[in-house]
Structure 1
């Protein structure tokens, strides 16, 4: 494990978190036994297991396990191998209960109302209050798994540049990452159903999520005044004991943590294997590096991107994925595109531009990125072979479990 300073500058190192479902090996039904990995083991401590470079943990529901880098890392190739090795190790341990991990951002036939089991251990009081306010026995809480990317910033100047770049990139991330096209046993009509629920699951307190696209805010003081103070005020009626922290509750698509100097991106559906996730993460990092460095558009252009336009594109990409038609000349200009383009064409243009500008860290992920650009996002690949029957759907997700175990991409 590399040693990293307590506060990092832009692009010095990164944090990654991957969330997976625990399911029965035969039926693929969810199994709420994460505590057997995180509490009933001699190496577990306070609901986590430190396994060297990777830590296992849980949030909210008992059928989900989270793998995260123990410390920020720069070498994502090594991180991808470590994540894949830990998937194999977890599957080995789960086999004694006839279970395994399943990838994908949503279980295709889980019934949240019947099957949800909230995590009863650490943070249980927080989860119980969430359940009281929002009702956590629905798809928007108990049936969504994602990939989180944490990027560092050192001060307000670096925050402003990174936040502006992230706002620009967020709208088209669901087009690339969508992996949740099926719920309740049937296609939903949306490539990224997880994001649809993510946007609406806290509607009782709208200030918590905003428009998912963060406001055009570029300083810590301004963010505290416009976002955290508003959330704190709106929470008061629901949380008289002040259990919930506005910083922790904030659920925009990118969340600054000024205390530790990082922004967490949360709009990415999890993929079929760590190699696919880390390939996407590396592409996101290199695109943000190019935006921050003003290789694609000026900082002023990025800062002035209008939230309503970005939010509309995000909503369209959530439904239509790579095929989303983007007509906003204001948005297209940020990537040097002058005419109409689909989200898939924008991503192809970005990859081409990054290659021309010698972003060599992408080279090692060429096979995975080629699959994404050629075959489409995981949601579209799932739909291509999902069929019309429960049996056919089960076969597809059994294959996805195999892809996760073998760290290979799903190609229909």
Structure 2
């Protein structure tokens, strides 16, 4: 979301969705994203526009990103726009015997052997990442997420937005966990993508920090406490200064001051855009309530420390919506007076308070939000319906079903 003109809080939104390209038969990853990203001369490019959406490359050659083509005034009609693009892409990929696969991790990919970096424009940056971090790990080579970009203008708006987003990050896996299997086995964690993501940058710890961003609420403080330590720590490994930029920041929400936006990065991609956009709508509505101080004052929101939020985040990564919350100071910030509540119950309570606002702009998203809240995160539905410890053939059957959900635009377990 490029900020050529300043946008204020909630004026616009930008959404990005990442998908794996896989063999249509075996569902093994296929590093052929260049087949989708070509200019008029048939040369590979990093991005092409398709009306209100755009396609772009990512770090690895088997991933394609769909995104809003610039800031969008609302989420109305976005799921349909993305769905159309998925069908266009699948039609093109079919010529190579390939298709798109959803969810946040490929269930049997071995990145040590299968990872290939995007080899065209921007590749020097990717090579630099690989040299420093060894991108063969799952947290680099096997992850697909949704990013939500929300605008701000100036320090006062940044402070409000950053404070609110920090509070929401720990409970987002309760809505969006979709990565229970890794290398052919049940991981024991419903959001394995975030479990590995948290250790992604351990060679340079300041790059991801504690994943939950520090309690900083101005551009100057962000520069001093986040950017500068990060750039200084990586400098000995980055002599050409290819990585010393805002994009190096790998926290769960990152400030993009050049865009005038905060990008939320902890949401697993779902089985179809309707589910993704529904989760985005609920997330944004809750952030908006916090920014408005409807449940708690800004000063109290700013006061929540990183370690408390990280402990809640770690717990929710494990058990998603069934995670029990008993930190009363945290619950108070959402106006919750119960001593204990599950993450799923918290989301249901918050949804009841923002439902009508969502319905006003995007009534088509009410039903999928309710379905997710009633039936659980995608990881929960996957493991509840099919079991946890599965053979390769059984995993193949589930992911073929998920690929069909993506093509058809329907939620797993929903009536057709």
TM-score, normalised to structure 2, is 0.95
Q: What is the CA distance between 1:257 and its match in structure 2?
A: 1.0
**Offset from partner CA, 1:200-239 (integer Å, 9 cap, x none):** 0110011000111111101001110111110111011111
The corresponding residue for 1:371 is 371
Q: What is the CA distance between 1:186 and its match in structure 2?
A: 1.1
The corresponding residue for 1:345 is 345
Could you list the runs of 5+ residues in structure 2 that have no partner in the other structure? none
**Offset from partner CA, 1:268-313 (integer Å, 9 cap, x none):** 0000000000000011111111111111211111111111111100
RMSD between aligned residues: 1.7
Choose from 397, 407, 410 the match for 1:408: 410
The corresponding residue for 1:238 is 237
Q: For the structure 1 residues 149 and 283, does the alpha-carbon distance in structure 2 shift closer, same or farther, using more than 3 Å as the test?
A: same
What is the rounded CA distance, in whole Å, between the counterparts of 1:312 and 1:189 in structure 2? Answer: 18
Question: Aligned residue pairs: how many?
Answer: 410
The corresponding residue for 1:299 is 298
The corresponding residue for 1:19 is 18
8 Å contact kept, 1:283–1:362: no
Question: Is 1:86 equivalent to 2:85 in the alignment?
Answer: yes
Could you list the runs of 5+ residues in structure 1 that have no partner in the other structure? none
Q: What is the CA distance between 1:356 and its match in structure 2?
A: 6.7
The corresponding residue for 1:157 is 156
**Offset from partner CA, 1:326-384 (integer Å, 9 cap, x none):** 11111111112122011111101100122377873464312111111111000111112
1:39-118 alignment, distance < 5 Å: 39=38, 42=41, 46-118=45-117
The corresponding residue for 2:126 is 127
The corresponding residue for 1:276 is 275
The corresponding residue for 2:259 is 260
What is the rounded CA distance, in whole Å, between the counterparts of 1:248 and 1:132 in structure 2? Answer: 17
**Offset from partner CA, 1:166-185 (integer Å, 9 cap, x none):** 00111100111100000111
8 Å contact kept, 1:22–1:101: yes
Q: For the structure 1 residues 43 and 159, does the alpha-carbon distance in structure 2 shift closer, same or farther, using more than 3 Å as the test?
A: farther
Q: What is the CA distance between 1:258 and its match in structure 2?
A: 1.1
Q: For the structure 1 residues 42 and 279, does the alpha-carbon distance in structure 2 shift closer, same or farther, using more than 3 Å as the test?
A: farther
Q: What is the CA distance between 1:323 and its match in structure 2?
A: 0.7
What is the rounded CA distance, in whole Å, between the counterparts of 2:23 and 2:3 in structure 1? Answer: 39
Q: What is the CA distance between 1:4 and its match in structure 2?
A: 8.8
What is the rounded CA distance, in whole Å, between the counterparts of 2:357 and 2:106 in structure 1? Answer: 39
TM-score, normalised to structure 1, is 0.96
8 Å contact kept, 1:105–1:144: yes
Q: What is the CA distance between 1:46 and its match in structure 2?
A: 3.1
8 Å contact kept, 2:39–2:45: no
What is the rounded CA distance, in whole Å, between the counterparts of 1:127 and 1:386 in structure 2? Answer: 37
Bigger mean CA deviation after superposition, 235-244 or 380-389: 380-389
What is the rounded CA distance, in whole Å, between the counterparts of 1:356 and 1:91 in structure 2? Answer: 35
The residue matched to 1:119 in structure 2 has which SS?
Answer: coil
